[in-house]
């Protein structure tokens, strides 16, 4: 099973920061997950929420602030407030961390609440600038955005995110040309895994942090998990390997 460090190594370091992403490289995992928004001056930045207030010591929506303004904020987490690697990074800064690795980047386009004009094209331009289209998954809760990404560049894999039960969700994801379905843990069951695989679709589940849930995902045949605890997920996978070797 593939492990993605969700927002970097976010259980230990400030989420979606260069520090959290660098620390994820210490693990033998498949990749990382990160969230992108667009600034007032049209730069793609990596942060989870639409506004900076929860994670940084400023206030306001990303869409209303310039990159310089966003860079002036420090993260709120004790012990990391003055750390220069804990500012809001651009997508390019995050990609550069992984250029010498084989990590896959699941870039979540966060446009289900705020609509950012041309964000799909902007993100894909950056991916192509770094020539990493073969190790990127673009995901979104916004199904139009998934369709748009596939129309712009069908070589880049896409994953449909959802939170509430959706009728015919696998067929819907297929109709968007998504290559994977990204359900929340609470909607995971064997039937969904089997249906995805029957329809040649990968299933990557979020957010899987408990040991029991990690085992459950492995048992059900889930393809990938997003976890804030890549350390714990690696230990579980190592234990299973040791069990089968002995």
Catalytic residues: 6, 48
Candidate list 21, 98, 116, 206; residue touching ligand G3P; CB under 6 A: 206
Q: How far is the CB of 179 from ligand G3P (least distance, A)?
A: 14
Q: Which H or E run includes 241?
A: helix 230-245
Identity of the residue, 48 or 197, whose beta carbon is nearer to Ca ion in the bound complex:
48
Q: How far is the CB of 187 from Ca ion (least distance, A)?
A: 16
Q: What is the C-alpha separation between 72 and 89, in angstroms, rounded?
A: 11
Q: How many helices (H) and strands (E) does the chain have?
A: 9, 9
222 binds ligand G3P (CB under 6 A): no
Q: Are 59 and 51 in contact (CB under 8 A)?
A: yes
Identity of the residue, 6 or 23, whose beta carbon is nearer to ligand G3P in the bound complex:
6
User: Residue 182: beta bridge partners?
Assistant: 161
Q: Are 139 and 182 in contact (CB under 8 A)?
A: yes
Candidate list 15, 19, 35, 119; residue touching Ca ion; CB under 5 A: 35
Contact string (CB under 5 A) for Ca ion, positions 83-112, x = contact: -------------------------x----
Euclidean distance between the first and the last CA atom of the chain, given in angstroms as a whole number? 20
Q: Rg of the chain's alpha carbons, rounded to an integer?
A: 18
Those residues with Cβ within 8 angstroms of residue 122's Cβ, 6 or more apart along the chain or in another chain: 38, 42, 44
> Which one of ligand G3P, Ca ion, none is in contact with 122 (Cβ closer than 5 to 8 A by kind)?
none
Contact string (CB under 6 A) for ligand G3P, positions 135-154, x = contact: ----x---------------
Query: What's the length of the chain?
Result: 246
Q: How far is the CB of 11 from ligand G3P (least distance, A)?
A: 13
- Segment 66 to 125, residues that bind ligand G3P, using CB under 6 A: 108
Identity of the residue, 35 or 120, whose beta carbon is nearer to Ca ion in the bound complex:
35
> Which one of Ca ion, ligand G3P, none is in contact with 206 (Cβ closer than 5 to 8 A by kind)?
ligand G3P
Q: Beta-strand (E) ranges in the chain?
A: 2-6, 31-38, 44-46, 104-109, 136-140, 157-161, 180-182, 202-205, 224-227
Cα angle 159-207-54, degrees, rounded to a multiple of 5: 100
182 binds ligand G3P (CB under 6 A): yes
Candidate list 20, 24, 30, 35; residue touching ligand G3P; CB under 6 A: 35
Phi, psi (5° rounding) for residue 64? -100, 5
Identity of the residue, 83 or 207, whose beta carbon is nearer to ligand G3P in the bound complex:
207
Identity of the residue, 54 or 81, whose beta carbon is nearer to ligand G3P in the bound complex:
54
Q: What is the C-alpha separation between 238 and 14, in angstroms, rounded?
A: 26
Chain residues binding ligand G3P by CB under 6 A are: 6, 33, 35, 48, 108, 139, 161, 182, 206-207, 226
Chain residues binding Ca ion by CB under 5 A are: 35, 108
């Amino acid at each position: 099973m593939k492990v993605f460090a969700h927002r970097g190594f976010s259980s230990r370091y400030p989420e979606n920061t260069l520090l959290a992403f660098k620390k994820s490289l210490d693990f033998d995992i498949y990749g990382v997950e990160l969230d992108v928004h667009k600034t007032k001056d049209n730069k793609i930045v990596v942060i989870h929420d639409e506004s900076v207030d929860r994670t940084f010591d400023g206030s306001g929506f990303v869409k209303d602030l310039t990159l310089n303004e966003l860079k002036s904020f420090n993260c709120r987490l004790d012990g990391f407030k003055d750390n220069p690697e804990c500012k809001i990074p651009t997508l390019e800064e995050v990609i550069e961390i992984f250029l010498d690795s084989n990590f896959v980047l699941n870039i979540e386009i966060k446009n289900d609440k705020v609509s950012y004009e041309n964000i799909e094209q902007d993100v894909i331009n950056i991916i192509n600038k770094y020539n990493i289209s073969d190790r990127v998954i673009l995901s979104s809760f916004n199904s139009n955005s998934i369709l748009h990404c596939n129309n712009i560049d069908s070589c880049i894999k896409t994953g449909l995110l959802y939170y509430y039960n959706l009728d015919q969700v696998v067929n819907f994801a297929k109709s968007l040309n998504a290559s994977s379905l990204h359900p929340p843990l609470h909607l995971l069951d064997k039937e969904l895994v089997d249906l995805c695989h029957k329809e040649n679709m990968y299933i990557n589940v979020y957010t899987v942090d408990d040991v029991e849930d990690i085992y459950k995902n492995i048992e059900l045949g889930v393809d990938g998990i997003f976890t804030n605890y890549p350390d714990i997920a690696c230990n579980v996978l190592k234990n299973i390997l040791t069990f089968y070797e002995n």
